[in-house]
Structure 1
Amino acid sequence: MKNYAIIFLISLFAMACDKRIDEISPLIKVDKDGELSSAAGIVESTVGNYSLLRENSTPSYDEPLLNLSEGRGNNITLRTFGPADKISDGFFFQNSNSPTLGFSSDFYRGSYQLIVSINTTLEGIDKLEKTNLASLPEADRNSILYAKGENHFLRALAYFNLIRLYGKPYYQNAAGNTGVALKKTSDVKEIPAPSTVKEVYDFITEELKTAAQLMKTPVVKTNSFASKEAAWALLSRVYLYMGGSMASPDATYNQAAVTYADSTLTQNGGKLALLQGNDYKNLFADDQDGSIGRAKFAANKEIIFAFDNMTGNTRIGIYYNYDPTYGMGALFIPSSDLKQLFTAQDIRSNFFKVNTGTGLTETTKLLVLLYQLLTRAPNIFLRTGELYLNRAEAYAKMKNYTMARADLRTIHTRAGLPESDINSIADQDLLAAILKERRMELAFEGHAGYDYFRNGLPMIRKAADNNGKELIIQPDDPKVVLTVPNF
């Protein structure tokens, strides 16, 4: 990547009193009149924006996001218990603002690094569109329009991950509760006040609709880049989060979740499919020696969008896998509560492995060419398996039990389990069964706590997985929401 594709690093500070962005100061600046005045520069700067989804010398995005998303659920437990520290802060729901005692400050800073970098690129595109876009060759025009869509997608993804952690669940008075600041420019003097949860979600959905439309431009990219299908898939997830609790669902948003899942699964031109049999087994099987080839995933039809870690530099693998050579890793191990849900017949039981160095069971979902604590496993943000479960949950909330049962059956039987398991479930119990299947199917992929809280359910961690004391976090507990960090 050219030097000018390294967009810039920023210092981001937040005021404790009003939870606003206080200062954004670029250290390495891209020139909108230089690098961003050409199609090549815009494409390179967009690639640079993708790079901010992974840690860059410090744990700025993927590691904090995985820690906070999975650590605040009940799919994992700590390999070694002790006083709360940076790694276990989220697990203990301490919600520390300290950069040394938790990952919130790293994630918050990394998120706005990404957002401001995207804003800079979009401003460059806007300027080019107003000057000489029409005079460029068609291929350049297409590259620019597609890159614009990619940046809108990345900005929506960044805000969605922020609002999941720093905003209350949508059904809890979204129009009245404070969310996060919507910073839409690269201007260091622009200091937006926090928007409401509803305003943030509205912005996200509009961003994704814009992104999907722009990415219909005839540009061919692999699934390590955004696409119209990725935008639709994320819209399905976002609307599911807006779809209300189990007790009080919202039919309009749940129908939207269904619609966008349908669009992704049926209008992808044959690019996407639900993997079956050995292909599905190999999606998350142990590939520590690289023989399966999981690190190269461009031909994998289940993956809609993932970050390509072939070049290394991510530490997300050490969360789940212990490296006996270095005596480190496996900070989180699968909870006993989760493991007991899987039978030997379930293909997903192959996504667990006993580590000979510790004698403990680990997940293989990130066990790909593990070397010096770095994994080459793709960091999967969106895949088709989730969409069937999104659609099943939304259908069940709308009491369309026939369609909900069909989607649940698809995922359940894909895992090698009998169809009769699903056919025997009473309609009133179907939604709970879908959430159980979702927990099993998407374990360790960053959905854990959110699926409880957004549905108005408590997150219950059994005593065996919480150092001998049961932990219950209610969906309206203040601990569900992180406070904006103080710098």
Structure 2
Amino acid sequence: MQSNYIKNTILVSVVLFTLLMFNSCDRFTDVGLPKSQITRDLVFKDDELAKSAMAAVYRSVYETGFISGGNSGAQILFGTYADELQSYASATSDTTIFYQLSHLASSTKINSLWTTTYSQLYNINSIIEGVENSENLSLDVKNRLKGEALFLRSILHLYLVQAYGEIPYVNSTSYEVNQIIGKSSVNTVYGLCKADLQAAVNLLPATLPAGNRIYPTKMAAYTVLARIAYYEKNWEDAVQYSSVVINNTLYKMETDLNKVFLKDSSGSIFQLLPFNSTSSTSQGNVFILNTAPPTNVALRQDFVNEFETGDGRRTSWIGQKTDSQGKVYYYPYKYKQYSTGPSSTEYSVVLRVEELYLIRAEAYIQKNQYDLAVADLNKIRTRAGLSSLAGTADQIFLNSALIKERRSELFTEFGHRFVDLRQHDLLDLVMTIKKTNWKPHFRLLPLPEKELLLNPNLNPQNDGY
């Protein structure tokens, strides 16, 4: 059953979108107009209005931006950018521009991805400031909303830094500060993300029951901390944070591959709620092919061909559609529901426990604890119906096995493949084979041209653009 937290948003979220959460302009440096303060004072005098303001943020990140399951999200954009998806959309569509690598600093999606995310961050910072300054909210609501906002602030900055490299870490709604803010180094951004997550750990509930993991918890914060440790190659922290979640008995891999993306999956750590109880996820609507040839995206043939024989993920998580000429097209079928029905059985999975087994396996490989690495990899492989890897001290072999498992397990989930290739120094090697027009500077997106013109402190532009 959905909590009153969600139910109460139906009435007031529209008002809050208009009055509070979306007073921001097209650029994140334009936000902070005084009129929003009047509304903030009213909203943060009431627990239910404050919770509804936070629900408006969740609706925003579900609909658009990096962790949206739709066309604007990282899974579509970076899936086409790298070697997972092929675009069949028009030549001027964002997916085709990313697929063909014809993006420029002036491209609409380059700018909108940036501005959308910073607008969301402004709204999140408005929540944090409103909660901190309120004398009327209950302590439980203050802690919960601040913890959730800190978590979201961290994960959105993390996606920004993976896409653009050095970026501003925005943690206030001050117009005077934000209009002249400069970039922070990648390592600095990681440090600020970690600080937000560690603060969130002290405020968030430890766990939530399966089927209701639509809010961040301590386990979600630990999961993102483990991901940052993977990016930083801090293998001690990677083991520590991954193990906290893996060892929690409430978060277990589903043995049935067809249950992994259900809303009550025991392996889900953080999910986003669709529009209502009868709506399917954005992923289902975007990926599932009802007609062929596709009009948007489909899986690349070489991606499908590279699955290991007998891999259950190939049969359970990939669907196919044949056109009138007999040509077969393949699509991601992790989410099985396509359109609104009597009830929604799936939520959009942002974080799940399988990623932590893969992070910890790599950490064990780098720490020369090969038996432990093999044990974690085999948990992923045996669930997929594959034979177990034998114990070995061959680090090159284990690294290769790890990369293959990450690709087969996490495909089309918010850009993992693109980041993994870069993380393992394989991006140029792989992509020059897959796309003849690939260039090394494509490892990052360009900073939006409009933002550089408005705020010179964001210079220099990323190399190659």
Q: TM class, shorter-chain normalised?
A: 0.7 to 0.9
- Match in the other structure for 1:275: 254
- Match in the other structure for 1:232: 222
Report the AA paired with residue 417 of structure 1.
Answer: L
Superposition map of 1:331-370 within 5 A: 331-343=296-308, 345-350=310-315, 351-357=317-323, 359-370=328-339
Summarize the Cα distance change of 1:346–1:219 in structure 2 as closer, same or farther, 3 Å threshold.
Answer: closer
* Matched position secondary structure for 1:382: strand
* Matched position secondary structure for 1:105: helix
- Match in the other structure for 2:84: 75
Summarize the Cα distance change of 1:369–1:396 in structure 2 as closer, same or farther, 3 Å threshold.
Answer: same
- Match in the other structure for 2:453: none
1:241 to 231, 238, 241: 231
Answer yes or no: is 1:454 the counterpart of 2:423: yes
- Match in the other structure for 2:167: 180
- Whether the 8 Å contact between 2:213 and 2:271 is mirrored in structure 1 is yes
Shift of 1:259: 0.8
Answer yes or no: is 1:392 the counterpart of 2:361: yes
Q: Greater strand percent: which structure?
A: 1
**Alpha-carbon distance in structure 2 between the residues aligned to 1:352 and 1:329:** 15
- Match in the other structure for 2:5: none
- Whether the 8 Å contact between 1:59 and 1:106 is mirrored in structure 2 is no
Answer yes or no: is 1:427 the counterpart of 2:395: yes
- Match in the other structure for 2:237: 256
How many aligned positions are there?
420
- Match in the other structure for 2:463: none
- Match in the other structure for 1:170: none
Report the AA paired with residue 163 of structure 2.
Answer: L
TM-score normalised by length of structure 1: 0.78
Report the AA paired with residue 117 of structure 1.
Answer: N
Deviation sequence 1:281-316 (CA, Å, 0-9, x none): 3335xxxxxxxxx4xx1x211111111225359754
- Match in the other structure for 1:11: 25
- Find runs of 4+ consecutive structure 1 residues off by over 6 angstroms: 217-221
- Match in the other structure for 1:439: 407
- Match in the other structure for 2:148: 150
- Match in the other structure for 2:193: 204
**Alpha-carbon distance in structure 2 between the residues aligned to 1:231 and 1:60:** 16
Shift of 1:376: 8.2
| Structure 2 unaligned regions, length at least 5 | 1-8, 451-465
* Matched position secondary structure for 2:172: coil
Report the AA paired with residue 100 of structure 2.
Answer: F
After superposition, the CA RMSD in angstroms is: 3.0
- Match in the other structure for 1:379: 348
* Matched position secondary structure for 2:445: coil
Shift of 1:323: 3.5
**Alpha-carbon distance in structure 2 between the residues aligned to 1:328 and 1:59:** 27
- Match in the other structure for 1:125: 131
1:109 to 106, 115, 125: 115
Identity in percent: 20
- Whether the 8 Å contact between 1:61 and 1:106 is mirrored in structure 2 is no
Answer yes or no: is 1:409 the counterpart of 2:378: yes
- Whether the 8 Å contact between 2:88 and 2:294 is mirrored in structure 1 is no
**Alpha-carbon distance in structure 2 between the residues aligned to 1:303 and 1:41:** 28
Report the AA paired with residue 78 of structure 2.
Answer: S
**Alpha-carbon distance in structure 2 between the residues aligned to 1:302 and 1:219:** 12
TM-score normalised by length of structure 2: 0.81
- Whether the 8 Å contact between 1:303 and 1:380 is mirrored in structure 2 is yes
Shift of 1:66: 2.4
Superposition map of 1:296-311 within 5 A: 297=263, 299-311=264-276
Superposition map of 1:165-176 within 5 A: 165-167=163-165
Report the AA paired with residue 321 of structure 1.
Answer: I
Summarize the Cα distance change of 1:376–1:194 in structure 2 as closer, same or farther, 3 Å threshold.
Answer: farther
- Match in the other structure for 1:289: none
* Matched position secondary structure for 2:48: helix
Deviation sequence 1:162-181 (CA, Å, 0-9, x none): 000010xxxxxxxxxxx111
Deviation sequence 1:248-275 (CA, Å, 0-9, x none): xxxxx121111111111223xx321111
Q: Greater helix percent: which structure?
A: 2
Report the AA paired with residue 281 of structure 1.
Answer: N
Deviation sequence 1:326-372 (CA, Å, 0-9, x none): x8855222222221232452210121122145731222123413369
- Whether the 8 Å contact between 1:166 and 1:180 is mirrored in structure 2 is yes
| Structure 1 unaligned regions, length at least 5 | 14-20, 134-139, 168-178, 244-252, 285-293
* Matched position secondary structure for 1:89: helix
- Whether the 8 Å contact between 1:61 and 1:107 is mirrored in structure 2 is no
Report the AA paired with residue 320 of structure 1.
Answer: F
